[in-house]
Amino acid sequence: MTQWNVKDFVRPHILTLTPYASARSEYRGEHGVFLDANENPLGSATQVAFNRYPDPLQQALKDRLAELRRVSPLQIFIGNGSDEAIDLLMRAFCEPRQDHILIMPPTYGMYSVSAAINQIDTISVPLTPSFQIQLDTVLTNLVPGCKMVFICSPNNPTGNLLRDDDIHHIIHTQQHGLVIVDEAYIDFSNSKGFVSFLDQYPNLVILQTFSKAWGLAGLRLGAAYAHPDIIDILNRIKPPYNVNTYTQEKGLEALSQTAKMEEMIRTILDERQRLTDRLAQHPMVQEIYPSEANFILVKIPHAEKIYHYLLKKLIIVRNRAKVFLCEDCLRISIGTSQENDVLLEALEHINYEAKDFISG
């Protein structure tokens, strides 16, 4: 992969663009009399002071994350959720109405939505019925214009890891752009993920998020790991202050609480096992797909009806019944043990004999 150069794939006008120079990026010192950013010097209208602009490059957060993931801070982009990184990657690399992306459904919906917003076509190569990559078909689709391949592992909504060998093969073969490996659920899995391969692959981008294992979905904090040249391009086009002060502070606080995060993961994995065992005994459940994530995909006849039955009881699961390869499936996030009991109880009390069991 030695000839691969990011400058050959980024949209030309992004390379020549003069990025916005924010006040806080022109002067980076912490101490001084700050009269450069038109901030309010007196404080905030709230109890907590937020009158100063945040660090545009989130240096403290990156330094700590770099230690934790054993990468360089220059290999990290921090965004307002990983969805921001997905959108920025498309805008940096894909020429609207010309380039396209490749996805492997059933998978996370944001890839194709973000592509559509940016007028980028999506080529779909579905997973196999056992939710693995159709490697040959994917490889033959790695043609010029295919600027990015999205691989979600563990995959949402199926929950399984995709085979490492297949992912390596795709990264090796993709000479026309990037491979994005979305590891939103990696901390719940038995895999170490692809971060340790970053130095080998200049075309690899890994997405991780603070929304799942770290329990910070409401903060909006996501990370992309890639070669410094790719990170540099994302930094050129991102909104200058894309991650707010509070989020940076709380993100940093979370990173000092890894033991708490790990304990939550253990609890969720125990509950995943318990929920799986209990559902397996349910007479109507046809299949519980093996999960390496914090949710399980469950195949159950009349999934659509069961979804509405649960809704009436204010138990909200994700209805995937109409999704290709997920017919009659519900995606169930692992809740607290009490929440999971509520779900199990409701499922045990469905009267399937009733003509319309939704009302039962």
Ligand X SMILES: *Cc1c(COP(=O)(O)O)cnc(C)c1O
User: Total number of residues binding ligand X (CB under 6 A)?
Assistant: 13
**Spatial distance between the Cα atoms of 20 and 80, rounded to a whole number of angstroms:** 18
- Which residues does residue 150 pair with via DSSP β-bridges, in sequence order? 180
Question: Are 318 and 303 in contact, with CB atoms under 8 Å apart?
Answer: no
Candidate residues 54, 56, 73, 81; the one interacting with ligand X per rule CB under 6 A:
81
> How many helices (H) and strands (E) in the chain?
12, 11
Residue number, 176 or 212, with CB nearest to ligand X: 212
The dihedral through the CA atoms of 195, 166, 152, 335 has a sign that is negative
- Which stretch in 63-71, 80-88, 169-177, 304-312 sits in contact with ligand X by CB under 6 A? 80-88
Question: Are 150 and 101 in contact, with CB atoms under 8 Å apart?
Answer: yes
Candidate residues 58, 75, 82, 319; the one interacting with ligand X per rule CB under 6 A:
82
Element (H, E) at 200: none
Question: Are 333 and 294 in contact, with CB atoms under 8 Å apart?
Answer: yes
CA nearest neighbour of 334 among 212, 151, 218: 212
Q: Residue 161: what are its φ and ψ, rounded to 5°?
A: -80, 145
Question: ω before 144 within 30° of 0 (cis)?
Answer: no
DSSP 338: H
- Which stretch in 6-14, 49-57, 97-105, 204-212 sits in contact with ligand X by CB under 6 A? 204-212
- Which stretch in 78-86, 120-128, 196-204, 296-304 sits in contact with ligand X by CB under 6 A? 78-86
Residue number, 58 or 82, with CB nearest to ligand X: 82
Under the binding rule (CB under 6 A), the answer on residue 292 touching ligand X is no
Binding track, positions 20-59, relative to ligand X; x by CB under 6 A: ----------------------------------------
- Interface positions, 214-273, toward ligand X (CB under 6 A): 217, 222
- Which stretch in 129-137, 209-217, 261-269, 276-284 sits in contact with ligand X by CB under 6 A? 209-217
**Spatial distance between the Cα atoms of 94 and 92, rounded to a whole number of angstroms:** 6
Residue of closest CB approach to ligand X: 81
Candidate residues 174, 209, 235, 248; the one interacting with ligand X per rule CB under 6 A:
209
- Interface positions, 163-202, toward ligand X (CB under 6 A): 182, 184
Under the binding rule (CB under 6 A), the answer on residue 153 touching ligand X is no
Which 3 state secondary structure label does DSSP give 319?
Answer: strand
Residue number, 227 or 331, with CB nearest to ligand X: 331
Instruction: Report the 10 Å Cβ neighbour count for 139.
Output: 16
Under the binding rule (CB under 6 A), the answer on residue 156 touching ligand X is yes
Candidate residues 108, 194, 201, 307; the one interacting with ligand X per rule CB under 6 A:
108
Residue number, 152 or 300, with CB nearest to ligand X: 152
Burial grade of 271 (CB within 10 A; 0-12, 13-18, 19 or more):
middle
Candidate residues 53, 57, 83, 242; the one interacting with ligand X per rule CB under 6 A:
83
287-288/121-124 β-pairing: unpaired
DSSP 88: H
CB of 97 to ligand X, least distance (A): 26
Which spans of this chain sit near ligand X (rule: CB under 6 A)? Answer: 81-83, 108, 152, 156, 182, 184, 209, 211-212, 217, 222
